[in-house]
Amino acid sequence: MNPKQLAGEKAVEFVKEGMTVGLGTGSTAYFSVKKIGELVQNGLRIKAVCTSQATHDLAVSLGIPIIKMRDAGHIDLTIDGADEVDPEGHGIKGRWGALLFEKIVAVNSEKNIWVVDESKIVKKLGKFPLPVEVIPFGHRQVLDHFVRLGFNPVLRIDEDKEFQTDSGNYIIHLHLGVIEDPLQLDRTIKQIPGVVEHGLFPGIVNKVIVANDNNIRILEFR
């Protein structure tokens, strides 16, 4: 079993009968969703909120009962992946372009678990490009603003055209190298008109399940 599957399936141990569960997006969260689907087939009763259309389609195919975010009310637990996690539990997410829905679900969840392989644990965030979701109108001006800030922005292109999120927005990747102060960067980016959300997730996660080829460890935060 590969590390992503180990971490993804371990997180499902925290899912209990009757919960409303947020289902994350990405290659590690995929294994969590698959495992939850197995448990549902064996009688587990839960409701789930999905963070992307891709996750929704997977969950439906597995027979997991899905509710819309507007009907969710209380979300007990969300399981999702992460692209980087630092020692304070700050993270970068959004490799798959689902960062807006992921953050809405996460901040409305009582508990958040991230599932990662060992390579995602870093001393400081920033080597992984930080995704920023922007509206199409004025996105070139947002790009220019990021250039002036020295953030090395690159518009995400998919098959020779602008990549679009499930909300129809664009993604700009910021190649920062090192993020010294995630909280300050959070504030700076959100002040720019045209920015919808970014992939910095500071102070949100409660547990990070980290797997490698040999073992699993759990990091506890907050």
Q: What is the CATH number of the domain that holds 135?
A: 3.30.70.260
Which SS3 state, helix, strand or coil, does residue 22 take? Answer: strand
The answer to whether residues 115 and 135 belong to one domain is: no
- The pLDDT score that the predictor gives to residue 222 is 78
The answer to whether residues 216 and 186 belong to one domain is: no
Query: Pick the catalytic residue: 102, 118, 162, 220?
Result: 102
The answer to whether residues 83 and 172 belong to one domain is: no
Picking from 221, 14, 197, 217, the residue whose alpha carbon sits closest to that of residue 105 is: 197
The answer to whether residues 189 and 213 belong to one domain is: no
pLDDT bucket at 197, cuts 50 / 70 / 90: very high
The answer to whether residues 46 and 99 belong to one domain is: yes
Residue with tokens 């809405």: 104
Percent of the chain past pLDDT 70, that is, above it, reads 100
Domain that holds residue 143: 130-197
Q: Give the mean model confidence (pLDDT) for residues 141-148.
A: 98
Cβ within 8 Å of residue 64, ≥6 positions away: 23, 33, 36, 37, 40, 46, 48
- The pLDDT score that the predictor gives to residue 1 is 75
Please give the tally of structural domains in the chain.
2
User: Cβ distance 36 to 11 under 8 Å?
Assistant: no
pLDDT bucket at 69, cuts 50 / 70 / 90: very high
Instruction: Give catalytic status of residue 102 as yes or no.
Output: yes
β-strand pairing of 161-162 with 157-158: antiparallel
pLDDT bucket at 73, cuts 50 / 70 / 90: confident
Per the rule left: phi > 0, alpha: psi between -120 and 50, beta: everything else, 126 is left
Q: Does pTM surpass 0.85?
A: yes
Q: What is the CATH number of the domain that holds 26?
A: 3.40.50.1360
